[in-house]
Amino acid sequence: MATITPDTQIDIGHNDDPNSNYLTSSRGFLSWALTLDHKRIGVMYLVGIFGAFFLGGVLALLLRLQLLMPEGTFSFISLDRYNQLFTLHGAVMTFLFIIPSVPAALGNFVLPLMVGAKDVAFPRMNLASFYLWVFGAIFFLIALVTTQLDTGWTFYTPYSIETQTNVIAATCGAFILGFSSIFTGLNFIVTVNTMRPPGMTWFKMPLFMWAIYATAIIQVLATPVLGITLLLLTAERVLHIGIFDPSMGGDPVLFQHFFWFYSHPAVYIMILPGMGIMSELMSVYSRKPIFGYTFIAYSSIAIALLGFLVWGHHMFVSGQSPMSAVIFSGLTFSVSIPSAIKVFNWVATMYKGNINLATPMCYALSFIFLFSIGGLTGLFLGALATDIHLHDTYFVVAHFHYVMMGGTVIAFVGGLYHWWPKMFGVMYNEFWGRVFCAVVFIGFNLTFFPQFIMGSQGMPRRYATYAPEFQLYHDLSTIGALTLGIGMVGAIAVLVISLFNGRKAPANPWGAATLEWTCTSPPPYYNFEHAPHVGSPYDYTGLKYDPQVGGYVRDPNAAPASESGH
Amino acid sequence: MSDQSNTHAIEADHSGHHEHVAHIMPLPFLIGTFLALLFFTWLTVFLADQDIGEIDIFIALGIATVKSVLVATFFMHLRYDKAFNVLMLLFCLGFVALFIGISLLDSTQYQPAIESFYNATATVEP
Amino acid sequence: MSAAVETHDQAHHEEGDHHGHHHPFQAHHFETMQQQFDSGKLGIWLFLFTEILMFSGLFCAYIIYRYNHPEVFLFAHKYLDTTLGALNTVVLIVSSLTMALAVRAAQKSQQKLLVAMLTCTLILAGVFLVVKYFEYTHKFDIGLYTGRDNISYQLQNPSMYPEAHDELIKIQKAHAAAEHSAEEHTIAEEEKAAEHPSEHSSEHSAAAGHDAGEHGEDHGASIEALAHAPRNTQIFFGIYYMMTGLHGFHILAGMVAISWLLYRSIKGHFSASYFGPVDYVGLYWHLVDLIWIYLFPLLYLIRS
Ligand SMILES: [Cu+2]
């Protein structure tokens, strides 16, 4: 024992003081930079992705302000510069922010706590995943600072082979970020498979875990294809291998097949974890067991698998054969079924529930509204005939912002508010939390609803200028974007301010029944002193509000959950 | 070493209780797999030089598949591994088939368009 | 999938102290060595799945291009040396066997055998790369680079690449002169040589021991044949370099991993109670072998 260094993950300067938590158990820059603790890695991810979110948001506001006038507001944004700005906005938001947002930041923090484990299965890989994210982000910044990328986030060939901008730095960045995403997904699959405590069978897992598990399957299966796509694109630029280059006899449509084989499932990497958060919030804040647990669980897996069958709906008008287009259009509708199952179950959960309109629940309700609009407008785009008209218009832009921003980002912020007391041990100001939720909701709809209208009237996306008849819609959208920006900054400010003056959080402020609420807030370094008792994740009968604690405690007199069949 | 009969690694860890960790592949299986792989390698090279016609790629790929099944079953222990791992492998191969299948299906359809573009723009002298 | 539950039978014991009577290589967050091993095993399998899907992109490009342009493959495969390809196949199969034996040795705590088997595997991996190096340099000698640097592409675009064209003219003239002076080459043989350059070259290399001038002529014949290559032959070489290059990179990564195992096995870390890393790297190594098992017939054994 003395001669061989144990393979354990004792962090630098860690102390075993029972009163310390993961934030205070060790100090210094290195104790964070080299930590293997999933909670600290989650927090570092949180800081990182909010940096990316801020950058992407500023770019978005610049774009919107530029579109205030039909010929452009600012003279310093040339037409080329406009292309570069929206490319970076898209690439930063998808690759740096949304994909890692819920799984890598919240998932990292919450998942091991939910399984009652001390850590994820591979803590070193977890840290590596974070650093890969950092390096990927740096490559993106290089692409930004040297020559600004102008291919759109999709890197379509042959333009991406010919353009003089720094495609290679951006593809390297996306390649590295892909590995970061694979590492996270791999870690979560193994954690869920092998580290669940005794008694937690598959159908006693919280639905957030099911969602993260389904997401991880997509991350592991789809991301490698993105990796090889970007590798081939880089080879195309460096070695001119010609596979995707029509001037060399190559096949540019093949690039789109490669790209969308990853990137359609990737939209489910983005939305599924958000749906997982929704299942938790709906049940906890309705104080009622989730309605249709098995349906929601299976629908997560169904979405993950069906998501692989529909990638061709991005290629209806870009060279794909009519036969494939018909097949893909038909299959695309099938994905709406499991998504709708989820929405119906969430709504049914609220029915006759004892609804607590705390800030996370406000976000959850916003999610249902916005996601339904986003999902239903997706049907118009999946239908072959209407898509020919709507393709590459603002209708598409509005659709995916309703799903990605109105869905994932709203759920992410809701989840962040939900788990914030657990993460940092402080309660935020409930009033201002709700106010900014309302501002975000209004700003969001004002930004993107007009885009549906102008899109259906033929306003093409990615254009730096537009016909004067669209100015009203663009101006409304810009005003909405500013409102949305204020709302988001405010929502995050409420959380940050709570770090300084927030009331100390109890272990279980919301009365949730999942395991992460059984340890103290913030959790101790080792999460649980004793392996926690596993009950039903949505059984609230034994939880009573204790005004002295300011949160919920398990009532010792209550009958233990009796439905345990284990 | 009492090896041949002992097909399971039994270990006593420091606290004294025994754990069943993994299956040990018997030596004859490994050698047998190895010899079979060599034989199939010879066979595929031999058949390549015979005049079989159009189907030779399918024969070559069939032999490669037999070889990979051998490697996966015995060298990679899948025969004695958890069923879950085998299931996931097949699942993953299904996605590979899906990816390649649909891309191929589509590419054969739009190929004439690529051809005519190339003929219209290429600098290559035929 | 009740396995995860079954393995936790003794999970309820007190976990007050984090570094007590555990196996020295048991990580603190695992309850048992079995759980640690199962996690590692599932992890490595998932990693292998990502590798399979990554390579599937290259296989996809290969199949689509081969299906739509079979003539390119039929022509270009002749520039690949089947003997060296088969040799490398055998090398990898032997290395797979030694790797499997290494895992077995670790499971049975046979430290010396483990070190020996890992060393064999490492050497065989090196042999593979050396053979690959010779294959690559031979192609570079002829000018079979990727894309527009490929000699066949340049010969088909004489207006853009006059140097390549000039060289071809020079070779053709030299050839014609050689034919006049020496009568042993019949016209029929020349035509055969143009159609089957590799057979031609292997005949010559067999006799190359006593004719120093042969190499240049062999080179010239290859270039003459390439002037009549189907158009876009360079894409075959693009695919070839990408597939074998990525595979070679994986061999290299495997060598790093095996070296790490070797270091640890010399230190005596592995035994029947802890052999996970050997098993995991072994699985990776077999997968690299598996991919080559497909690459070999797809690239080297194209006959119709
Ligand atoms: Cu899609």
CA distance C146 to A25: 56
Q: Which residues contact B55 (CB under 8 A, 6 or more apart)?
A: none
CA distance A491 to A487: 6
The shortest C-alpha distance from C31 to chain A (Å) reads 9
A220-to-A265, A314, C43 alpha-carbon distances in Å: 11, 22, 11
pLDDT, one tens digit per residue, over C58-85 is 999 999 999 988 888 888 888 888 899 9
Mutate to test the interface with C, among B92, B93, B117 (most CBs of C within 10 A): B92
The verdict on residue C134 lying in a domain is: yes
Of A375-389, A407-421, C226-240, C253-267, the least confident = C226-240
The shortest C-alpha distance from C96 to chain A (Å) reads 25
The single residue listed with the structure tokens 């204020």 is A486
The verdict on residue C28 lying in a domain is: no
The shortest C-alpha distance from B103 to chain A (Å) reads 6
**Listed residue (A169, A167, A135) closest to A48, CA to CA:** A135
The verdict on residue B52 lying in a domain is: yes
Ligand 1 centroid to residue A262 C-alpha, Å = 10
Report DSSP state, residue B20: E
Paired with A427 in beta bridges are A503
Determine the distance from the C-alpha atom of residue A24 to the mean position of all C-alpha atoms in its chain, rounded to a whole number.
Answer: 28
Q: What mean pLDDT, rounded, does chain A reach? A: 88
CA distance A508 to A122: 28
Of chain B residues 25-54, which have a CB less than 8 A from chain C? 25, 27, 30-31, 33-34, 37-38, 41, 44-45, 48-49, 52-54
C-alpha dihedral sign at B34, B38, B41, B43? negative
The stretches of A391-470 forming alpha helices (DSSP H) are 394-403, 410-424, 430-456
Say yes or no: C197 and C54 in one domain. Answer: no
Say yes or no: C111 and C187 in one domain. Answer: no
At A558, is the pLDDT very low, low, confident or very high (cuts 50, 70, 90)?
low
Tell if the CB–CB gap between B117 and A257 is shorter than 8 Å.
Answer: no
Q: In this complex, which of C37, C52, C94 lies closest to B22 when CB atoms are compared? A: C37
The phi and psi torsions of A563 (rounded to 5 degrees) equal: -80, 0
Say yes or no: C81 and C130 in one domain. Answer: yes
Say yes or no: C130 and C243 in one domain. Answer: yes
Q: What percent of chain A has pLDDT over 90?
A: 55
Ligand 1 centroid to residue A523 C-alpha, Å = 39
CA distance A467 to A463: 10
Residue A280 has pLDDT above 70, yes or no: yes
At A428, is the pLDDT very low, low, confident or very high (cuts 50, 70, 90)?
very high
Say yes or no: C40 and C139 in one domain. Answer: yes
Say yes or no: B54 and B96 in one domain. Answer: no
Report DSSP state, residue A460: B
pLDDT, residue A5, reads 38
pLDDT, one tens digit per residue, over C83-142 is 999 999 999 999 999 999 999 999 999 999 999 999 999 999 999 999 999 999 988 887
A564-to-A204, A517, A536 alpha-carbon distances in Å: 9, 20, 8
The verdict on residue C15 lying in a domain is: no
CA distance B115 to B118: 5
**Listed residue (C199, C209, C215, C193) closest to C142, CA to CA:** C215
Report DSSP state, residue A543: E
At A321, is the pLDDT very low, low, confident or very high (cuts 50, 70, 90)?
confident
Of chain B residues 55-74, which have a CB less than 8 A from chain C? 56-57, 60-61, 63-64, 67-68, 71-72, 74
Paired with A553 in beta bridges are A544
Q: In this complex, which of B44, B72, B100 lies closest to C301 when CB atoms are compared? A: B44
The shortest C-alpha distance from C95 to chain B (Å) reads 10
Residue A560 has pLDDT above 80, yes or no: no
Q: Which of the listed residues C230, C259, C278 is the one where a domain comes to its end?
A: C230
Paired with B8 in beta bridges are B23
Say yes or no: C274 and C164 in one domain. Answer: no
pLDDT, residue A17, reads 63
At C228, is the pLDDT very low, low, confident or very high (cuts 50, 70, 90)?
confident
Of A49-58, A230-239, A419-428, C167-176, the least confident = C167-176
Tell if the CB–CB gap between C104 and B27 is shorter than 8 Å.
Answer: yes
- If phi > 0 it is left, if psi is from -120 to 50 it is alpha, else beta; for residue A401 that is alpha
Tell if the CB–CB gap between C35 and A198 is shorter than 8 Å.
Answer: no
Residue C19 has pLDDT above 50, yes or no: no
A155-to-A502, C29, C180 alpha-carbon distances in Å: 45, 42, 56
Q: Which of the listed residues C201, C230, C259 is the one where a domain comes to its end?
A: C230
Say yes or no: C210 and C89 in one domain. Answer: no
Strands A543-546 and A503-504: unpaired
The verdict on residue C197 lying in a domain is: yes
Tell if the CB–CB gap between B110 and A254 is shorter than 8 Å.
Answer: no
Q: Is A264 helix (H, G, I), strand (E, B) or coil?
A: helix
**Listed residue (A417, B15, A402, A375) closest to C13, CA to CA:** B15
pLDDT, residue B13, reads 37
Kindly state the average pLDDT of the residues A15-25.
Answer: 70
Say yes or no: C163 and C77 in one domain. Answer: no
At C22, is the pLDDT very low, low, confident or very high (cuts 50, 70, 90)?
low
End-to-end CA distance of chain B: 70
Q: Which of the listed residues C206, C230, C254 is the one where a domain comes to its end?
A: C230
Paired with B12 in beta bridges are B18
The shortest C-alpha distance from C93 to chain B (Å) reads 7
Kindly state the average pLDDT of the residues A387-409.
Answer: 93
Report DSSP state, residue A561: P
Q: Which domain holds residue B94?
A: 82-107
CA distance C194 to C185: 13
The stretches of B1-126 forming alpha helices (DSSP H) are 27-48, 56-70, 83-121
Say yes or no: B58 and B100 in one domain. Answer: no
Residue of C nearest to A244 (CA): C61
The verdict on residue C44 lying in a domain is: yes
Residue C215 has pLDDT above 60, yes or no: no
pLDDT, residue A361, reads 95
Mutate to test the interface with B, among C290, C295, C298, C302 (most CBs of B within 10 A): C290
pLDDT, one tens digit per residue, over C281-301 is 999 999 999 999 999 999 998
Tell if the CB–CB gap between B13 and C33 is shorter than 8 Å.
Answer: yes
Helix H or strand E segment including A553: strand A551-554
Tell if the CB–CB gap between C241 and A223 is shorter than 8 Å.
Answer: no
The verdict on residue B20 lying in a domain is: no
Tell if the CB–CB gap between A247 and B121 is shorter than 8 Å.
Answer: yes
CA atoms within 13 A on the CB side of A98: 28
Six token digits for residue C282? 């072994």
Total number of domains in chain C: 2
Say yes or no: B68 and B30 in one domain. Answer: yes
pLDDT, residue C281, reads 95
Say yes or no: C169 and C240 in one domain. Answer: no
If you average pLDDT over each of A74-78, A366-370, B28-32, which comes out highest? A366-370
Selected residue with higher pLDDT from A126 and B11: A126
At B121, is the pLDDT very low, low, confident or very high (cuts 50, 70, 90)?
confident
At A451, is the pLDDT very low, low, confident or very high (cuts 50, 70, 90)?
very high
Selected residue with higher pLDDT from A530 and B12: A530
For chain A, the structural domain boundaries read 34-565
**Listed residue (C11, C8, C41, C109) closest to B12, CA to CA:** C109
Say yes or no: C115 and C256 in one domain. Answer: yes
The single residue listed with the structure tokens 């994820």 is A120
Ligand 1 centroid to residue A295 C-alpha, Å = 23
The verdict on residue B102 lying in a domain is: yes
Paired with A552 in beta bridges are A545
**Listed residue (A133, A138, A140, A41) closest to A87, CA to CA:** A140
The single residue listed with the structure tokens 């790209």 is A259
The shortest C-alpha distance from C121 to chain A (Å) reads 26
pTM for the model stands at: 0.87
Q: Which domain holds residue C223?
A: 158-230
Q: Helix A394-403 to helix A430-456 angle, to the nearest 10 degrees? A: 150
Say yes or no: B68 and B89 in one domain. Answer: no
Say yes or no: C211 and C258 in one domain. Answer: no
Determine the distance from the C-alpha atom of residue A119 to the mean position of all C-alpha atoms in its chain, rounded to a whole number.
Answer: 21
Amino acid found at B34: F
The single residue listed with the structure tokens 């990615």 is A462
A222-to-A491, C15, C41 alpha-carbon distances in Å: 33, 39, 21
Say yes or no: C128 and C169 in one domain. Answer: no
Of A191-200, A484-493, B52-61, C245-254, the least confident = B52-61
At A14, is the pLDDT very low, low, confident or very high (cuts 50, 70, 90)?
low
The phi and psi torsions of A343 (rounded to 5 degrees) equal: -60, -45
Selected residue with higher pLDDT from A243 and C222: A243
The phi and psi torsions of C230 (rounded to 5 degrees) equal: -60, 150
The verdict on residue C67 lying in a domain is: yes
Paired with B18 in beta bridges are B12
Class of domain A34-565: mainly alpha
CA distance C221 to C190: 9
Q: What percent of chain C has pLDDT over 70?
A: 79
Kindly state the average pLDDT of the residues C221-228.
Answer: 74
Q: In this complex, which of C19, C57, C61 lies closest to A8 when CB atoms are compared? A: C19
Using an 8 Å CB-CB cutoff, list chain A residues near C246: 231
Selected residue with higher pLDDT from A434 and C20: A434
pLDDT, residue A535, reads 81
ipTM of the complex: 0.89
Q: What mean pLDDT, rounded, does chain C reach? A: 79
> Does the CB of A308 have a partner CB in chain B at under 8 Å?
yes
CA distance A461 to C249: 41
pLDDT, residue A566, reads 38
Selected residue with higher pLDDT from A499 and C2: A499
